[in-house]
Structure formats: structure tokens, C-alpha cells
Structure 1
Amino acid sequence: MKRIGVLTSGGDSPGMNAAIRAVVRSSIYHGAEVIGIERGYQGLIEGKTIPLQLGSVGDIIHRGGTILHTARSEAFKTKEGQETAVSVLRQNGIEGLVVIGGDGSYRGAHVLSQLGVATIGLPGTIDNDIACTDFTIGFDTAVNTVIDAVDKIRDTATSHERTYVIEVMGRHAGDIALWAGVAAGAETILIPEAPADLDRLIEKLQRGIERGKKHSIILVAEGAGKGFDIGQSIQQKTGWETRVTVLGHIQRGGSPTAFDRLLASRMGAMAVDLLMKGESGKAVGIQGGVLRAHAFEQVVTTLRKADLSLYSLASLLSI
């Protein structure tokens, strides 16, 4: 394989640049040229390609976001768009493609592999909602960002003796709320995988007040409810002074943690190794600390479940 393409698609995540760097440098080490495709599948359809050299990826391992930029593409969902994408790859002599992104990006990569393009996927998403991998690139950084925010909010919650509701990302997966909630000592964690009853939540908070607790932190994944609605309901039912913070896109930014840099680097190098061996239609993941590759079809049709034992632990520790 003499020419490899790389693109980032969907929502950005810290560590994507580290993955791009690994793909570029591993490809060049193996004697292949690298073509960067800007703005994901939309950029692929539009032929937005740039050559990437060793120097092109210098000093990016510590940067959040993606130097290739990213976008969502309605055009790529059509047969015409997909055929155009394949044509652009052929015209540019790109024999193999590394796609870095989440579930939707994987589905697109699966289509390209079925159309004859050698394609490998890397899990780039803060939500940690991809099957066949314990961790996705960017998840660890997002969790640490939330922990830092919760620690700061707890200071003012303690000072003013208030209940704080903090909404974090996670429309369909509650891993960010779950992991950050346990690590930050949140009194209550709400995730879409384990719907909670608001009255029982209030009863739990009331027990805390009765034993002398002056403040509470409620961490809620956006898929489990809107922070402002939950905060308003608690205040109306109890009369407690309640404040709401929505962390939003701050969770996607920032310099990636050491864990995410290492994970992205290992996965990027493995993606190139797989292409060099003639593999296609596979997604790289990590399970039990070991990198493994699974077929796209298996990954996109398998529902990744939250670790509810961690949810039970959170309940136990917050009595």
C-alpha cells in the first residue's frame, strides 16, 4: 500500500490529533504517502485533500480538536454521495483510509469498505459509547474536565449551602456522568441507562440534610433529563435553593490526558499495520488493555452497555 488517507468525522474529541499524528508517522515509516481529508465525509465528497508530511503533524499531540477539522454530511448518506467519495479516493490514488470518529463515522466507513475501499476505524468520541472497546479516544479527557468543574462547583455549593445540578454530555450513554460522578463524589448520578425517580432522589437528599449535610451535587447525563427541568422540579418540591450548570462543549475541548494520547497513538499505529497487512472493514478497540480489531458490522450492530456495577458503587458510596 503506497498511499493512505485519514479523516476525522462527527463530533471532535481530545486525542484526535494524537491519532492523526500516529497514522501519518506510522504510514511514512512503512514507506507510504499520507493524504489528509479535511472536514470529514463532506470534505471527501468535495475533494478537500492535503498531503501530510512528518512536519505536518509536529507539535499537535498535545492539542485538542482536530487539525483536519470535522463536519457532518447529509450528502454522504446518499448513494450518489458515497459513490462520489469512492471516486475521489480513486482519483487521489488513496488505497487505504483511516476514519477517526464515533458510531456514525463507523457506519460510513463500513459503507466504504463494502464499496471496495480498504478502511479501518478508530473510536474518536468523548461519549465512550462504541461497542467492542473499553475506552474511546477523548473519554478520559472529558471525564477529567467534568471532575475539575465539579470540584470547583462544590466549593461554592459548600459556601452557600445549595443543591447543584450539573448537566454533562451523553444523550444515549451515561459513562461521562457515571465515571465523573463516582470520581468527584457526587451525591446523585442520573444516566439514561438507569432511569431515576425524582421523588426517591429527593428522599435521598432529604436524608442527607437530616444528618447535617449542607449541600448536594447531582450529576445528570443529558439523555437522562434536562438539568434546568430537574433543578426547577427539586426547588418546587422542596423549597431548597437549587442552581443548575450545563457544562456543554467545554467537555470536548482541552489538551488530551496522557491516557488519551497513549491510546490514540497506539490505535493509530495499529490502524496502519492492519492496512499494510491487507485488512479492511475493521475497527480498532482496546479490551483489557490489549488492542483488538473487530469487524465494523459487529461494532455498529452491538449495543454498548454501561457498567451498572459502577452505578451501584456510586449509590453505595453516596449514602
Structure 2
Amino acid sequence: MKRIGVLTSGGDAPGMNAAIRAVARKAMFEGLEVVGIYHGYQGLIDGNMEVLNLGSVGDIIQRGGTKLYSARCPEFRTKEGQQKAIEQLKLNKIDGLVIIGGDGSYRGSMTLTNSGFPCVGIPGTIDNDIPGTDYTLGFDTALNTVIDCIDKIRDTATSHDRTFIIEVMGRDSGDLALWAGLAGGAETIIIPEETYNMEEVIGRLKSGSTRGKKHSIIIVAEGVMSGSEFAAKIKEHADIETRVSVLGHIQRGGSPTGRDRVLASLFGAKAVEVLLAGHGGRAIGIQNHQVVDYDMNEAFEKGEIMDSKMYQLSKELSI
């Protein structure tokens, strides 16, 4: 192992830059050359890459987004696209890859590993939906962004005696909605993993109103339905007027929290160590406060990773 590459793929997440920095500097410390690959798998196919030095990754630990950029790449799903990527790896004498992204990025990583190029994955997604790791890069930052928005919206909700519906990201995973809803004191949390009962939702709103409560906050994960759709359902069932706020891509941006910066640094260094040990097809994660690497195939297992006890607690505390 003399030269390794690093790329970011899929949706950006706060902490990706800190992970790029950690990969590059740990590799350089170990005497390796590091190649930064731009625009994810598309950049790999196109040969859009350059050798990084210490200065290349300076002053990025505090920045959101990704210095290496990201892109969707349908071409990489084809045999022809994969072969182009392999040819670029050979041409640039890259012996191994660190890939920062979500499960889609991991699947590409396994394709290259099975073709003889060892890859190690670092979980970078605000959805916190990668099995095998307790937390993914970007989740903590996005969580705090959503909480801050909830607090601000609650000020207006209180001032106008209104129910606000806040739509947050989470297509298949409700972790962001659940954690933010619990931390923000939301009265109702709607997530993909749990069915909801509209009569129960309406009952909670009316119960609060009866005891003098002046406002309510409802968190809806986008994977269930849009905030506007949920507002229409409430209007249909109880003729309760609501206001909708869609947080959108603000959740992905911003300077990473201290927790995400530390996780990124630990994950990046561990990824280099795994490659140096000659292993590919591994994923980096944190389990019970310990940084670990594990078979990447485990990250494709779609088991129940949502904390059902936390969801139940959110309902108990919102009475």
C-alpha cells in the first residue's frame, strides 16, 4: 500500500471535510501518498483527481459540505462505468480507497473491493441510518440545526397560539425526526418506522387545548409525507388550522459540531489503519463508544435500528 484515494459520495454531511483531512494527514504520517477524487464516483470514472498535500486539507475541519464535492453517478451502476473506474485506479496507481458516504456509496465500495481494489467506508449521512454504527457523520450537526429551528418556530407558535408542522429530512429513517422531536419537546413525531393514528394525534392536540396549551409542534419525517399533506389531513379530520415549515437542505449545511469533528478524525484515521493492514470491504463505525471496523455487508442489512423505546418515551412526555 503506497498510494490511497479518498472520495465523498451521495448527499453531503457536516464532518465530511474533517474526515477527508483525517484520512489525508494520517496517511501522510504513515508515509503514503493521498489522491483526492473529485465529484464522487463520477470523478473516479473521469479521472478527476489530484495528489493532496498537508496544505490541501488545511483549514477545512470547521467547514460544512465537502471539499471534494459530491455527485450522483448512474454510470457507475453499469459494468462499463465500473470498468472505467478500475482503469483509472490502475492508471493512477491507487492501491486502496476510502469512501465517505451512505449505503449507496458503500455498495459502490463493495463493487471495487470485489474487483481487487480494497475499499473502506466511512459513514457520512445526516440520516443516521447505517447499520453497524451507533452514529454517522453529520447526524449530530443536523440534529442541532433542527433543534435550533424548532426553538425559533416555537417562539412564533406561542405568540400566535398556533400548531406548527415542521417537515424534516428522513426518507427511510426517522432518527433525525425522533431525536429532534424529543429534544425539542414536540407534541407529535411522525416517522417511517412507526404507524400513526390520526385520531390519537387530534386527541393530543385537543387535550392540550383543553388544559390551556397555546401551541403545539408536530415533527414529520419527509419519508412519511410532506408537511403540507399532513396539515391537510389534520384540517380534514378536525378543522384545525396549522402552519407548515419545511426545513429542507438547511439541515445538511453548517459548521460541524465538536462531536462530528472528533468522530470524523477517529473514523478517518481508523480507515487508513484498516487499509494498511491489507483489509478491504470494511466499514468504520462507533459501537458502545469504541471505534470499530466491521464487514461492510453488515451495513446492507436492513434490520430495525430505530430506538422504539425512545419513540414511546416521546409520546409519554408529550401528554
Give the aligned partner of residue 262 of structure 2: 262
**C-alpha deviations, 1:122-147, integer Å up to 9, x for none?**
00000000000000000000000000
Give the share of equivalent positions with the same residue, in percent: 58
Summarize the alignment of residues 218-233 of structure 1 with structure 2, pairs less than 5 Å apart: 218-233=218-233
In 2, the alpha carbon distance for the partners of 1:61 and 1:51 equals 19
In 1, the alpha carbon distance for the partners of 2:275 and 2:220 equals 40
Q: CA deviation at 1:292?
A: 1.1
Question: Is the 1:129–1:304 contact (alpha carbons within 8 Å) kept by the matching residues of 2?
Answer: no
In 2, the alpha carbon distance for the partners of 1:72 and 1:303 equals 26
Q: How many residues align?
A: 319
In 2, the alpha carbon distance for the partners of 1:65 and 1:308 equals 31
Q: TM-score, normalised by structure 1?
A: 0.98
Summarize the alignment of residues 284-295 of structure 1 with structure 2, pairs less than 5 Å apart: 284-295=284-295
CA RMSD, aligned part only? Answer: 0.9
Is 1:151 aligned with 2:139?
no
**C-alpha deviations, 1:46-68, integer Å up to 9, x for none?**
11011110000110000000000
**C-alpha deviations, 1:197-226, integer Å up to 9, x for none?**
222200111111111111000001111221
In 1, the alpha carbon distance for the partners of 2:76 and 2:168 equals 29
Question: Is the 1:130–1:304 contact (alpha carbons within 8 Å) kept by the matching residues of 2?
Answer: no
Give the aligned partner of residue 97 of structure 1: 97
What amino acid is the match of 1:196?
A: Y
What amino acid is the match of 1:279?
A: H
Give the aligned partner of residue 88 of structure 2: 88
Give the aligned partner of residue 119 of structure 1: 119
Give the aligned partner of residue 57 of structure 1: 57
Question: Is the 1:231–1:242 contact (alpha carbons within 8 Å) kept by the matching residues of 2?
Answer: yes
What amino acid is the match of 2:101?
A: G
Q: CA deviation at 1:6?
A: 0.1
Question: Is the 1:12–1:65 contact (alpha carbons within 8 Å) kept by the matching residues of 2?
Answer: yes
Question: Is the 1:195–1:224 contact (alpha carbons within 8 Å) kept by the matching residues of 2?
Answer: no
**C-alpha deviations, 1:146-200, integer Å up to 9, x for none?**
0000000000000000000000000100000000000010011000000102222
Structure 1: runs of 5 or more not aligned:
none
In 2, the alpha carbon distance for the partners of 1:314 and 1:110 equals 38
Summarize the alignment of residues 1-319 of structure 1 with structure 2, pairs less than 5 Å apart: 1-319=1-319
What amino acid is the match of 1:29?
A: F
Structure 2: runs of 5 or more not aligned:
none
In 2, the alpha carbon distance for the partners of 1:232 and 1:245 equals 14
Question: Is the 1:163–1:243 contact (alpha carbons within 8 Å) kept by the matching residues of 2?
Answer: yes
Q: CA deviation at 1:301?
A: 2.8
In 2, the alpha carbon distance for the partners of 1:304 and 1:187 equals 24
Q: CA deviation at 1:304?
A: 4.8
SS at match of 1:224: coil
What amino acid is the match of 1:191?
A: I
In 2, the alpha carbon distance for the partners of 1:71 and 1:154 equals 35
Question: Runs of at least 4 residues of structure 1 off by over 2 A?
Answer: 235-241, 301-304
More divergent stretch after superposition (303-312 vs 275-284):
303-312
